[in-house]
Every structure is written in C-alpha cells, then in structure tokens.
Amino acid sequence: MDLVGMLTSQLGVTEPQAAGGAGALFGMAKGALSESDYGQVAGALPGIEDLISQAPEISQKKSDMAGKIGGMAAGMGSLKGIADSVGGMALVTDQFAKLGLDEGMVSQFVPIILSYANSTGGDTVMNLLKSVWK
C-alpha cells in the first residue's frame, strides 16, 4: 500500500488531506535537511515531490513569523535547531488547518510516515526525517 493509502486507512482522512498533510511534513523536511540528505530521502521515497506540491500554500505572515523565530535563535548555537523545528512545525500546523485537520493530527501522521520511510527507504531515511520532526 502507498503512503496516502496508509494514511487514509489508518487515520480516516480523505486522500487530499493525506497527500497534503504528508506533503506539508515532507516540505518541512526539504527545507530543514541539507541538499544531499534530502536527495537521499527523495531518492528512497518515490513521489515525495508530488506530495509536496499538494500541500497547501503557506501564508506569508506565517512564513515571516517562522523566519523570525529562527533568526532570533541564530546566535544561540544548539538552540537554533530547536527553534527552526518549532518554526517549521508552526507552518505545518497552519497547512494542516487549511486541510481541515487539527494540530493533533500532525503527531498522528508522523509515526505512519516514519514507518513507511523505514520500510521503503531503511533506517537512514527514517532517521533523517525523524531528526527534522522531533
């Protein structure tokens, strides 16, 4: 079964919600991972770019806010990664809301996507994604 099928059957969401939600999370990963790490993920998980294209648009106001969170933390060393993750998750939550999904659904999507990533791409791909969605 493909990822969208897994999400719809396990969570009872519609196909557009499943594709858009997965796309929002993969879009966050694309922005957070290095080009080579993302290339490894995209190479192991066919269709990831198509899912990203199905994620709702991010409002400029939310994007600016996430950038400020990351910018404020830039001088904080190891806290920057945490702030980037928090800012990215705020954008994902906004995208989920546009799909009619509450923010609690994000935490239900992540383990299913990680399981799919592990079965399709192995531990390395799963751990790359897990590092972004912690």
pLDDT at 58: 81
Number of Cβ atoms within 10 Å of the Cβ of 3:
23
Q: What is the 3-state secondary structure (H, E, C) of 30-71?
A: HHHCCHHHHHHHHHHCCCHHHHHHCCCCCCHHHHHHHHHHHH
b/e map of 25-53 (b: 16 or more CB within 10 Å)?
A: bbbbbbebbeeebbebbbebbeebeebbe
Q: Which of 108, 102, 126 is nearest to 40 (CA)?
A: 126
pLDDT at 72: 46
Tokens encoding 96: 């989920």
pLDDT at 69: 42
Averaged pLDDT in 10-residue chunks for the chain of 134 residues: 95 98 97 96 96 88 48 45 60 95 96 97 97 91
pTM across the whole model:
0.82
Tokens encoding 23: 């796309």
pLDDT at 77: 47
pLDDT at 134: 84
**CA 120: distance to chain centroid?**
17
